[in-house]
Structure 1
Amino acid sequence: MRVLVTTSPWPTHYFVVQPLAAAFRAAGHEVLVAAQPSMADLVTRSGLPMAAVGSDIDMVDIRRKTLSQELDARQKPGEPARADDGGQVFDTWQQATLANLDPVMDLARTWKPDLVLADTMCPPGLVAAQELGVPGIRHLWGWDFYGSAGSEQILAELPGFYDVYRAHGLDVQGDPARRTVDPCPPSLQPPASPARLQVQYVPYNGAGRAPGPELRRTDKSRPRVCLTWGRSITRIMGERAFLLPRVVRALDGLDIEIVVAADAATHAKLGELPDNVRVLDSPPLHLLLDDCDAIVHQGGSGTVLNAIRVGLGQLAISHMADQDNISAALAGSGAGIHLRGEQAAEEAIRAAVIRLLEDPDIRMSADRLRAEMLSQPTPAQVAAGLDELATAHAHH
């Protein structure tokens, strides 16, 4: 069968979808990724063919706008909650993610897929599936709310959610996705709708080389802590959200080894570093974490899932709502500690990392969360199930 994959311009979101797309291809299906032109190198280096659709959209600029709206919508003391607190933010995302709707629709009509796999931030894929009458599958990359139980009421309250379907003559009720594929351990998510389909998270972090043997740890008695700060948070929020130097200062003097996963630009901003700190030039994160004891990061979903996969205790220092949600869920599981950026004084960071390394309850919770992740169906198994779904749909 033919599987059309539609993805937003966030590289880390594509990284989460890639293993299932690759599983379809490994099973003998035709796979085509539809993405904006700027994603071409990243997608093709992942081993999948790509069709460039539409024009490039700077999602960092869009995220800056929605962040401003989120801050404006936050309730002030004594004020009643507003029903439209999330409405303006959603509307901005909707306008941005639908900008390339027509090119995606044209591609789908020409290529005629049997199934569409859509990043949750790329609704044109689901619109195309509805128009073609084939199963549309939404793929999550982190914490979810509108694929959860009771989502039909949430969707009905979001401004303009169904308008794009109606513009194409489609009468859509409830969740337009036939299934929602979720790589998060179920215990981290809100109660799922019946359409939720769990998949085991398999890390893909882009093409890259593994750290060489000279960077492997030889002294296992000395804990190794990984620091990473994602790809976008500083571009969105500015230098006030770049807390890696603060984290390094907070951990100074501890008898630990620190490895920082960062690109050259980030490395340059760190300044002079203590002798126990090494910077690695953006290695694929999962290849580094299996030799670490804990991780400190910005609360990005991809980083959280990578760390769960190897059973690490995590300190998440979040600044934005999507980071807050999954970081709070992680802390609630007992497998990590969550600090909001404004709470992350050096003393709090230092105490949190010491606890990650010394508290056996955190280690047990991290092991439990890892076991839960590994118990989910593999991408190959999910691909086989979706193949059966598409076949049954075609013969219906």
Structure 2
Amino acid sequence: MRILFTTWAAPSHLFPSVPLAWAFQAAGHEVRVAAPPNCEAAVNGAGLIAVRAGEVPDVAKGSTGGKLAAWHLQNSWPADWPLRAPSLAPEQRDILRALGEKQVRIAEGMVDDVLAHARAWRPDLVVHDAGSYAGTIAAAVLGAPAISQMWGSAAVLGLEREDLQGDFLPGYRALFRRHGVEPEQGPVRWLDPCPPTLALPSAAPKLPVRFVPYNGPGSHPEWLDRPVDRPRVCITWGVTAGKLAPGAALPAPLLAAAEQLAAGGVEVVLAVTAAQREQLTDLPAGVRAVSGLPLSLLLPSCRAVVHQGGGGTTMTATLAGIPQLVVAPRPEQMLTGARLAASGAGRQLSANELAGGPEAGTLLAKEVSALLEEPGYAAAAAGLRAEMLAMPSPAETVPLLLAETGTGR
């Protein structure tokens, strides 16, 4: 059987699909991954066959310009806001619409190449990143079932719809009609790696799938084999932030917090991009900077992690069973941080709380110290890990998907 995966314009959206793609291959099926050229190396690095789709989109410009600038202002949104999107403020609803329109524009650049390959190769099943509408269209044109892969967000974000749950956006509908089809109500299944406690309730046909960490290729450093003689904490600001601001160093409050924690007897590991690492000189004793080290290797040795609330980092930390401090830059990550805090496995700040000068580093250090000193956080984190381990693995999910879609053979 042939399975066509499609991903959005960032490797971080590819990574959640990789273990499932491996599982299909290991079960004897053919797998290919349609992606923009900037994801081609990541597809190949995962040992998968890449199909180039479109040109390299300007993700940074498309993610921060116009109405989307307000998505990054850390203004407070209502609790569990995806469940009540129609009642959001008009400017918040405008932001969600702009996010959906951005996804439509990226799909417009990919869909012709995806369709050309799909018509030639004739896949039996399409698995697409939840934001990759080109895969949805290809499945509709070929009459193949579509499966949507979520990336660790707490909610099913139907950005292709008005207010996440209304009619389809005009641009989304027009993209389907351009190829002679109408949009369907949704995929056969949404594959959700979130453990039940973190996931928001949804009427979408979700299938829980155990998160198997894949953060890209890397090597195991010798120092990770040494005994840990003091609490180890990871601080990371995410690959996406590095791409949106490629020349920027880590925010100063993170570095100040790292120094204060190290002075208090904590070992701090800064997991950063290569560009960020070049700017991290003269680090204090007890602080180490690493780049290219998969978080799945590092986090099991840590007692806590500080991060932005991205899906990959959140899920990797959840599987490691460690408490998390989410410093959220956007409403989606604020939602993740709030769900973690409600579970008892973490704490949350918004990124604008780090704009207050030197005291911001002290605030961060105190938040991390609370995670280390109060045993309830570790116990709750262990509970989330147990939930995740009880979910079906990608290998167990493959026959379930084949049976549900009627494509198994």
| TM-score, normalised via structure 1 length | 0.90
* 1:233 and 2:241 are equivalent in the alignment: yes
Matched, 1:163 2:150: no
| 1:336 counterpart residue number | 346
Return the offset for 1:343.
1.4
Question: In structure 2, what is the Cα distance between the partners aligned to 1:52 and 1:226?
Answer: 35
Specify the alignment match of 1:88 in structure 2.
98
Q: Per-residue deviation at 1:367?
A: 0.5
Q: Per-residue displacement from partner, 1:77-132 (whole Å, max 9, x unpaired)?
A: xxx92154421232123212332111111111111000000011211111111111
1:356-395 per-position Cα deviation (integer Å, ceiling 9, x unaligned): 11111101110010011111000001111112233x2689
Q: Which residue of 1 aligns with 2:208?
A: 198
Is 1:122 aligned to 2:132, yes or no? Answer: yes
Partner of 2:111: 101
Q: Is the 8 A contact 2:9 2:106 kept in 1?
A: no
Report deviation, 1:33.
0.7
Q: Which SS does the other structure have where 2:239 is aligned?
A: coil
Residues 1:73 and 1:99: Cα distance change in structure 2 (over 3 Å)? farther
Identify the residue that residue 43 of structure 2 maps to in structure 1. 43
Matched, 1:3 2:14: no
Tell me what 1:358 maps to: 373
CA distance in 1, matches of 2:15, 2:72: 29
How big is the alpha-carbon RMSD for the aligned residues of Structure 1 and Structure 2?
2.6
1:384 maps to 2:394: no
Cα distance in 2, alignment partners of residues 303 and 217 from structure 1: 24
- Counterpart in the other structure of 1:32: 32
Quote the sequence identity (%). Answer: 36
* TM-aligned CA distance change 1:245 to 1:394, over 3 Å: closer
Q: Report 1:215-364 matches (<5 A).
A: 215-220=224-229, 222-236=230-244, 239=248, 242-243=251-252, 244-344=254-354, 345-364=360-379
Cα displacement (A) at 1:19: 0.4
Q: Relative to structure 1, is the Cα distance of residues 69 and 99 closer, same or farther in structure 2, using a 3 angstrom cutoff?
A: farther
Q: Residue 32 of structure 2 contacts residue 50 of structure 2 at CA under 8 Å; is this kept in 1?
A: yes
AA of the residue aligned to 2:306: V
CA shift, 1:290, in A, is: 1.3
Q: Which residue in the other structure is 1:174 paired with?
A: 185
Q: Counterparts of 2:24 and 2:314 in 1: how far apart (Å)? A: 25
Distance 1:234 1:17, change over 3 A: same
Deviations 1:184-222 (A, max 9, x none): 11221221325101100000111110121x3434244x1
Q: Distance between the aligned counterparts of 1:107 and 1:301, measured in 2?
A: 30
| Cα distance in structure 1, aligned partners of 2:331 and 2:311 | 12
* TM-score, normalised via structure 2 length: 0.87
| CA distance in structure 1 between the partners assigned to 2:317 and 2:8 by the alignment | 23
Alignment-mate amino acid for residue 163 of structure 1 = A
The 2-side partners of 1:93 and 1:144 are apart by 19
CA–CA distance in structure 1, aligned partners of residues 321 and 192 of structure 2: 19
Taking structure 1 as reference, are residues 75 and 298 closer, same or farther at Cα in structure 2, changes over 3 Å only? closer
Q: Distance in 2 between matches of 1:104 and 1:74?
A: 37
Q: Measured at CA, do residues 359 and 12 of structure 1 come closer, stay the same or move farther in structure 2, by a change above 3 Å?
A: same
Compute the displacement of 1:253 (Å). 1.7
Give the number of equivalent residue pairs. Answer: 386
SS of match in other structure, 1:162: helix
Where in structure 2 are there 5+ consecutive unaligned residues? 78-87, 355-359
Structure 1, 225-234 or 131-140: larger mean CA deviation: 225-234
The answer (yes or no) to whether the contact 1:155–1:174 under 8 Å persists in 2 is no
8 Å Cα contact 1:74/1:85 also seen in 2: no
The answer (yes or no) to whether the contact 1:116–1:134 under 8 Å persists in 2 is yes
More deviation, 89-98/285-294: 89-98
**Match for residue 68 of structure 1?**
69
In structure 1, which of residues 356, 374, 381 is the aligned counterpart of residue 389 of structure 2? 374
- Cα distance, 1:44 vs structure 2: 0.9
Letter aligned with residue 366 of structure 2: A
2:123 to 100, 109, 113: 113
Give me the whole-angstrom Cα distance separating, in 1, the residues matched to 2:284 and 2:63: 34
SS at match of 1:197: strand
Q: In 2, Cα distance between the equivalents of 1:143 and 1:289? A: 20
